[in-house]
Amino acid sequence: MASDNYEVTPMIERLNEAMESGAFAQVRRMINRGLPAQDVAHLLESSPPKERDLLWSMIEAEFRGDVLQYLTDDIQAIYLNRMNPEEFLAATEGLDTDDIADLLQQLPDTIIKEVLVSMDTQDRHRVEAVLSYPEDTAGGLMNTDTITIRPDITLDVVIRYLRRHQSIPDSTDSLIVVSRKDHFIGMLPLTRLLVSDPNITVREVMNTDAIVISADMPDSEVANLFEKYDLISAPVIDENGALLGRVTIDDVVDVIREDAEHSLMSMAGLDEDEDTFSPVLLTAKRRAVWLGINLLTALLASAVIGIFDATIEKVVALAVLMPIVASMGGIAGSQTLTVVIRGMALGHINSGNTGWLINREFIVGLINGAIWAAVVAGVAMFWFDDMMLGFIIGTAIIINLIVAVVAGASLPLFLKWMKIDPALAGGVLLTTVTDVIGFMAFLGLATVFYL
């Protein structure tokens, strides 16, 4: 847990200065003695590749696991793949089970086996329990460092039992009450333990309606539960009700951050684990794919324009104005898309209210379409001194804005139903729709009225 004091930024600044002036002995001392692991991880994440490798080489072997657990997946993978099993074991000694399992999952299967074989039996069983669940479930997120008690003892006995511990695991706000067969019965919050009469039994004060999480619950649902009910820790059980471990708020906070970032990054075709300072070739490769996908959209739009080349040749003002129609549709649609994707992530949207939502978007599209169609029509009329042109672009804008907002509202729902990530595919598909409809409506109407 915590460390030092909260004035870490100046410390990082001092470290940056030391790096720049080449005072490596000083840097090494600061990293390994001065800074908490979280700050060393943040420093690595804020460094370009070469500087990052230099810093990593200065971190002492037994401190590397502490630092690794705070790094983003992209960067973890880089350094984990440079370690052999012995180095991995040395680095991860003393980490929480869930953190070791997280790191292990980044390694090839053969290495995972080698590492597991070298662990002591208790640790191996614990890590294997976590590894047996997918990383993005409660089971993959859980920790096995639970303190369990039995319901029929008195609080005084509980307090004496706790005093035999050197320490209690981080983020322990409750003790877990289990049956003889290790089945979950209830929770005893430490605060209740402290205010209650020591002579009564656990059963009398325990909380039996606590939130319990099954091991296969998706981590985003776990996060929603923690957020909604202000939880600090929650027990994880298997399908038979046997206690497996607990999920703690510190791991859930990471899930919340990643889930929220997922939409932002996906809409630009990026991964939420993306390293800000990933090297040139990796960056270029990842982005090239997204550019290629979007090129198909652009080519389709060009093909639509191509249909009307005779019209454009006759009225060149159409070429001048046509990007406005496509762009207004794109903006209006992406606003709706963003609202709906966020609403879906928050669990606001269900079969009972989608009808209302699409209907509202239709009316909003009509209102804003009418307002801006009038403005653009006026601009076009004055600019090119052509009433007809104003009428055509105005009508095209109204059509495209309505299509855009209805598509923005329905595309993510359709994609979710198709089990495609709406944040990733929604924007590209929407642009395709607004470009094609925009150019088609504008140039099509022009063809009807001018040719």
Positions in 372-391 near a second copy (CB under 8 A): 372, 375-376, 379, 383
When asked if residue 296 is in the footprint of a second copy (CB under 8 A), the reply is no
Residue 97 touching a second copy (CB under 8 A): no
The SS3 of residue 175 is strand
Contact flag: residue 1 with a second copy (CB under 8 A): yes
Distances (CA, A) of 326 to 166, 288, 340: 67, 24, 21
Q: What DSSP line would sit under 28-93, residue for residue?
A: HHIIIIIS-HHHHHHHHHTS-HHHHHHHHHHS-GGGHHHHHTTS-HHHHHHHHTT--HHHHHHHHT
Q: Is 75 in the site for a second copy (CB under 8 A)?
A: no
Nearer Cβ to a second copy, position 331 or 448?
331
Of the candidates 25, 54, 200, 288, which one interacts with a second copy according to CB under 8 A? 288
- Only one of the segments 24-32, 58-66, 84-92, 253-261 lies at the binding site for a second copy (rule: CB under 8 A); that segment is 253-261
Decide if residue 115 touches a second copy (CB under 8 A): no
Candidates 22-30, 57-65, 178-186, 230-238 — which segment interacts with a second copy by CB under 8 A? Answer: 230-238
Is 421 an interacting residue with respect to a second copy (CB under 8 A)?
no
Q: Which two tokens stand for residue 196?
A: 């209650």
- Which residue among 230, 239, 418, 419 contacts a second copy (CB under 8 A)? 230
H/E run at residue 184: strand 184-189
Q: Which is nearer to a second copy, 52 or 115 (CB)?
A: 52
- Please answer whether residues 450 and 311 qualify as being in contact, where contact means their C-beta atoms are separated by less than 8 angstroms: yes
Span 37-56, contacts to a second copy by CB under 8 A: 38-39, 42, 45-48
Which is closer to a second copy, CB of 108 or CB of 198? 198
Question: Can residue 4 be called a binding residue for a second copy (CB under 8 A)?
Answer: yes
Q: Does 350 bind a second copy (CB under 8 A)?
A: yes
- Give the range of 80-88, 102-110, 111-119, 221-229 binding a second copy by CB under 8 A: 221-229
CA 327 to chain centroid: 29
Going residue by residue from 119 to 158, which x/- string records binding to a second copy, judged by CB under 8 A?
Answer: ----------------------------------------
Segment interacting with a second copy (CB under 8 A) among 25-33, 176-184, 302-310, 413-421: 302-310
CB of 170 to a second copy, least distance (A): 6
In degrees, to the nearest 5, what angle opens at C-alpha 250 toward C-alphas 246 and 255?
A: 90
User: Cβ distance 188 to 221 under 8 Å?
Assistant: no
d(CA 445, CA 442): 5
In the complex, the smallest distance separating the C-beta of residue 117 from a second copy, rounded to whole angstroms, is: 31
DSSP 217: S
**What's the min distance (Å) between Cβ of 51 and a second copy?**
8
The rounded distance, in Å, linking the Cα atoms of 386 and 390 is 7
Say if residues 336 and 403 touch (Cβ distance below 8 Å): no
Q: Does 446 bind a second copy (CB under 8 A)?
A: no
In whole angstroms, the minimum distance from the beta carbon of 334 to a second copy comes to 5
Nearer to a second copy among residue 69 and residue 115 (C-beta): 69
Selected from 25, 54, 61, 194, the binder of a second copy by CB under 8 A is: 194
36 contacts a second copy (rule: CB under 8 A): yes
Shortest distance, position 376 Cβ to a second copy, whole Å:
7
Residue 343 interacts with a second copy (CB under 8 A): yes or no = yes
Query: How many angstroms separate the first and last alpha carbons of the chain?
Result: 74
Which among 170, 146, 234 has a CA at the least distance from the CA of 2? Answer: 170
> What HEC string does 236-304 produce?
EECCCCEEEEEEEHHHHHHHHHHHHHHHHHHHCCCCCCCCCCCCHHHHHHHHHHHHHHHHHHHHHHHHH
Alpha carbons 61 and 88: distance in angstroms, whole number: 9
Q: Which residues lie closer than 8 Å to 217 by C-beta, 6 or more apart? A: 137, 138
Tell me: does residue 22 bind a second copy (CB under 8 A): no
Q: Does 306 bind a second copy (CB under 8 A)?
A: yes
Does residue 108 touch a second copy according to CB under 8 A?
A: no
Q: Which stretch binds a second copy (CB under 8 A): 73-81, 98-106, 126-134, 260-268?
A: 260-268
Kindly determine how many residues on this chain lie close enough to bind a second copy according to the rule CB under 8 A.
134
**Does 73 participate in binding a second copy (rule CB under 8 A)?**
no
For 102, the token pair is 């997280």
Interface with a second copy (CB under 8 A), residue from 62, 86, 156, 197: 197
Beta carbon of residue 114, minimum distance to a second copy (angstroms, whole number): 30
Hey, is 392 helix, strand or coil? helix
Return the range that interacts with a second copy (CB under 8 A); candidates 60-68, 115-123, 128-136, 345-353. 345-353
Q: What angle do CA 388, 392, 397 make, to 5 degrees?
A: 150
Tokens of 171: 């983020």
